[in-house]
Amino acid sequence: MSYIYEDYDVVVVGAGHAGCEAALACARLSLNTICFTVSMDSIALMPCNPNIGGSSKGHLVREIDALGGEMGKNIDKTYIQSKMLNQSKGPAVHSLRAQADKQDYSREMRLTLENTPNLTLKQAEIVEILIEDNRITGVKTYSGAIYPCKAVILTTGTYLNARCVYGDVSNYTGPNGLSSAKFLTDSLKNLGIEMYRFKTGTPARIDKRSIDFSKMEEQLGDENIVPFSFTNKQEDIKKEQVSCWLTYTNETTHEIIRANINRSPLYSGDIKGTGPRYCPSIEDKVVRFSDKERHQVFIEPEGNYTNEMYVGGMSSSLPEDVQYNMYRSVAGLENAKIVRNAYAIEYDCINPNQLKATLEFKNIHGLYSAGQFNGSSGYEEAAAQGLIAGINASLSILNKDPIVLNRSEAYIGVLIDDLVTKENHEPYRMMTSRAEYRLILRQDNADLRLTKIGYQAGLIDQKRYDNLILKEKQIEEEIIRLENTNIGATKEVQKLLESLDSTLLKTGTTLAELVKRPELDYYLIAPIDNKRPELSEEVIEQVNINIKYDGYIKRQLKQAEHFKKLENKIIPEDIDYENIQSLRLEAKQKLARIRPLSIGQASRISGVSPADISVLLVYMEQLKRG
């Protein structure tokens, strides 16, 4: 029997990383929000790797924080090791990664949700999405309770019709044996939503006491910690860190895998879902890269209050007995006790081309979605989408303009644009090479790029905003000061340059010119800069980067300007591509399917040529004048 239970503004379905951000954003924007989860014990669960961040994913977390999201703050509270990757490379690819205490992470996030006003948590499975005239009216639970609402955000992660598989063992459950959601897919299909089936996997967890760490290389955290959240300083979060460990597979490991490859459900054809290429199972690595003698294996703690260790690099769906032999062939794991088996998981997700860049479904007003449900992978990708879906669902209810970040503004913009525009046949992972303007999309300037937008949306408070404006001003003034401070070839200057292996001055120059030299920087020229003002480390970092890489940054800014021109050419929503006779058939079909927001987005659809874009521009001009 079904009945009306309670009204809400927003219903969030799922409380993983996407669901948490979405629910928090809505509640913080004063909307009456309810977040459903199949298990109250799995809020912000990390069912796979025990870390947050990493190359380009770290950027996403910084951006989430800059916009007023929660992930950065939560990992700052619960990290057990922190590292800035790529420190020897350029500032654009510096990337933060922290090991999390998984249980702490989950508990802290749950606490935050529980204590946020306007936010209700509820354990229940949603089985039906209710719509009328292509507009959301509510959701229905398994028990028949109907929750009328204005917007629904689907963040079901890997739970829809989930199936966990290793060898010939197969369970219809979500991750970690949690119950899956078995009915929602049908409801979505009835609404005409196109579904995909994807696959991912996780390695075994091993008892710490059974590992011989003396055979492994210790991996320490950084001494200087950079917090994920712009609201934290190093001293706020500094703590004792734990180590990770590095070991390798060997020929014996590969032999075991090869001998049993026919027993892998991936190769027998039992698993039909598409897996991610960036995160292959160990059997995939051995088969596809057969010339590699060894693969890295990272042993990472799952938390401070458990002996479970995560075996990074060896996810698998091989049978239990093969797993046992395979893991034990690795140096240091000879006596390993497996606490949890490795498994592959298959799940339903959507073709994200059905979404607008706001993450609202094109055909159903008020229905939004985010995270793995949209065909992405990773906690950070999920959280980023969850935040944007939450913001836009709220802004729509509040009758305000949505927030769409473009590719020159944020990795989040790249992520969402790729999802909604390009054809995607595997779980999508953020990568730094996907960002065209990465010199301006650095992790260090995420606040300068996005905090104003977060403020406009209503997720950033006045104090944080004022601090940002002050920071901006200080950076600008200091750059101007350096550009206008002339220095001559004095003895003192030459001495410093000589000591730093830098070419001596023949004529006068500016401090900025010296900072630009490859072998020098802002810090090194301090002795000859006697009028230097007192500035925070964050401001100095921006000054240094902006001056040092000035040429490249200006070039990318110029490219970004050009790019934005096309993004700002908005295609009318009701355009009928069938009517544009001169468009080629393929372009017509693709454009009609994706319905791009702008000329810029249209130009990124594969199969739409520059000539098609010209035709489209002329047609739009005709309409305008028509």
Are 569 and 603 within 8 A, CB to CB?
A: no
**From candidates 313, 332, 390, 413, binder to other proteins by CB under 8 A:** 313
Rounded least distance, CB 614 to other proteins, Å: 5
Instruction: Give the separation between CA 167 and CA 376, rounded to whole angstroms.
Output: 26
Q: Is 294 in the site for other proteins (CB under 8 A)?
A: no
Nearer to other proteins, 107 or 517 (CB): 517
**From candidates 111, 480, 592, 618, binder to other proteins by CB under 8 A:** 618
- Give 468-474 contacts, CB < 8 A, sequence gap 24+: 471/447, 471/536, 471/538, 471/539, 471/542, 472/448, 474/535, 474/536, 474/539
**From candidates 432, 445, 546, 598, binder to other proteins by CB under 8 A:** 432
Nearer to other proteins, 113 or 299 (CB): 299
- Token code pair at residue 402: 């949505």
Residue 114 annotated as lining a ligand binding site: no
Q: Is 503 in the site for other proteins (CB under 8 A)?
A: no
Q: Is 589 in the site for other proteins (CB under 8 A)?
A: no
Nearer to other proteins, 83 or 449 (CB): 83
User: Quick one: CA dihedral 595, 398, 24, 227, positive or negative?
Assistant: positive
> Quick one: how far is CA 244 from the chain centroid?
23
Rounded least distance, CB 71 to other proteins, Å: 20
Nearer to other proteins, 491 or 562 (CB): 562
Q: Is 622 in the site for other proteins (CB under 8 A)?
A: yes
**From candidates 439, 460, 475, 543, binder to other proteins by CB under 8 A:** 439
**From candidates 14, 157, 312, 413, binder to other proteins by CB under 8 A:** 312
- Closest by CA position to 100, among listed 72, 63, 65, 62: 72
Q: Is 175 in the site for other proteins (CB under 8 A)?
A: no
Residues 268-287 that bind other proteins (CB under 8 A): 276-280, 285
Residue 277 annotated as lining a ligand binding site: yes
Residue 16 annotated as lining a ligand binding site: yes
Q: Is 115 in the site for other proteins (CB under 8 A)?
A: no
Q: Is 554 in the site for other proteins (CB under 8 A)?
A: no
Rounded least distance, CB 19 to other proteins, Å: 25
**From candidates 262, 562, 573, 576, binder to other proteins by CB under 8 A:** 562
In total, the chain counts a number of residues equal to: 626
Q: Is 9 left (phi over 0), alpha (psi -120 to 50) or beta?
A: alpha
Are 144 and 2 within 8 A, CB to CB?
A: yes
Q: Is 456 in the site for other proteins (CB under 8 A)?
A: no
Residue 48 annotated as lining a ligand binding site: no
Nearer to other proteins, 270 or 513 (CB): 513
**From candidates 1, 88, 462, 576, binder to other proteins by CB under 8 A:** 88
Residue 278 annotated as lining a ligand binding site: yes
- Closest by CA position to 155, among listed 470, 451, 474, 389: 389
Label each residue of 91-148 as H, E or C.
HHHCEEEEEECHHHHHHHHHHHHHCCCCEEEEECCEEEEEEECCEEEEEEECCCEEEE
Q: What are phi and psi of 487, to 5 degrees?
A: -130, 145
- Residues β-bridged to residue 170: 165
Instruction: Give the separation between CA 453 and CA 460, rounded to whole angstroms.
Output: 9
- Count other C-beta atoms under 10 Å from residue 609's C-beta: 13
Q: What are phi and psi of 248, to 5 degrees?
A: -135, 150
For Cα atoms 607, 610, 616, give the angle at the middle one, nearest 5 degrees.
Answer: 90
Rounded least distance, CB 539 to other proteins, Å: 22
Q: Is 295 in the site for other proteins (CB under 8 A)?
A: yes
- Specify the DSSP class assigned to residue 248: E
Residue 607 annotated as lining a ligand binding site: no
Stretch 225-264: interaction string toward other proteins, x if CB under 8 A: ---------------------x------------------
Nearer to other proteins, 375 or 390 (CB): 375
Residues 22-51 that bind other proteins (CB under 8 A): 49
- Token code pair at residue 352: 């994200």
Q: Count each helix (H run) and each strand (E run) in the chain, helices first.
A: 21, 24
- Token code pair at residue 195: 């579904």
Segment near other proteins (CB under 8 A), from 6-14, 118-126, 480-488, 616-624?
616-624
Nearer to other proteins, 86 or 210 (CB): 86
Q: Is 118 in the site for other proteins (CB under 8 A)?
A: no
Instruction: Give the separation between CA 518 and CA 496, rounded to whole angstroms.
Output: 15
Q: Is 90 in the site for other proteins (CB under 8 A)?
A: yes
Q: Is 558 in the site for other proteins (CB under 8 A)?
A: yes
How is the beta sheet containing 205-207 ordered, strand by strand?
217-219, 244-248, 296-301, 308-312, 205-207, 338-340
Q: Is 298 helix (H, G, I), strand (E, B) or coil?
A: strand
Residue 59 annotated as lining a ligand binding site: no
Are 201 and 316 within 8 A, CB to CB?
A: yes
Residue 393 annotated as lining a ligand binding site: no
Stretch 512-541: interaction string toward other proteins, x if CB under 8 A: ------xx----------------------
- Count other C-beta atoms under 10 Å from residue 446's C-beta: 26
Q: Is 431 in the site for other proteins (CB under 8 A)?
A: yes
The number of residues that bind other proteins (CB under 8 A) is: 55
- H helix intervals, 438-549: 446-457, 462-484, 491-499, 511-516, 537-548
**From candidates 73, 356, 438, 595, binder to other proteins by CB under 8 A:** 438
Show binding-site residues. 14-19, 275-289
Show binding-site residues for NAD(+). 275-289
Please report, as ranges, the residues that interact with other proteins according to CB under 8 A. 49, 55-56, 85-86, 88-90, 92-93, 246, 276-280, 285, 288-289, 292, 295-296, 298, 312-313, 315, 422, 429, 431-434, 438-439, 518-519, 552, 555-556, 558-559, 562, 582, 606, 610-611, 614-615, 617-619, 621-622, 625-626
Show binding-site residues for FAD. 14-19
